[in-house]
Amino acid sequence: MIQVRNLLIVALAHAFICVPALAQESKSPMPEQARLGERIYERNCSPCHGYHMKEPDGAFDLRTFPHDQHTRFVDSVAHGRNQMPPWAGMLKPEEIEALWAYVVTGEVGD
């Protein structure tokens, strides 16, 4: 009985140590990355998706893009989708990641 209790205590202690570490892995993008994404967005994406992602002109409303679909976002930006052209030749991978940070963070402002 004592061994089971000790095992339970060790398991709980481990959980309390690991949960904050897991939370850090999934924390939101860095503010400077989202600001870079905002600048890239305003230069390249806003003509179709709207200024600050508001009132898109026939394009997808990025404010509703599911935040759990990172791969879908990167693929759509890099390779194009429907009427959207591919941006892989014009944007570096880190710039696409910055766009993702902006989309999931929302309007960040300067």
Q: Per-residue pLDDT tens for 6-59?
A: 444 444 444 444 434 433 344 456 899 999 999 999 999 999 999 999 988 889
pTM score of the predicted model? 0.70
Map out the domains of the chain as residue ranges.
31-105
Among 72, 70, 80, smallest CA distance to 44 is for: 80
pLDDT at 57: 83
**Mean per-residue pLDDT over the chain, rounded:** 81
Q: Per-residue pLDDT tens for 48-70?
A: 999 999 988 889 999 999 999 99
Distances in whole angstroms, Cα of residue 5 to Cα of each of 10, 15, 38, 75? 9, 15, 52, 49
Class of domain 31-105: mainly alpha
Q: Per-residue pLDDT tens for 73-91?
A: 999 999 999 999 999 999 9
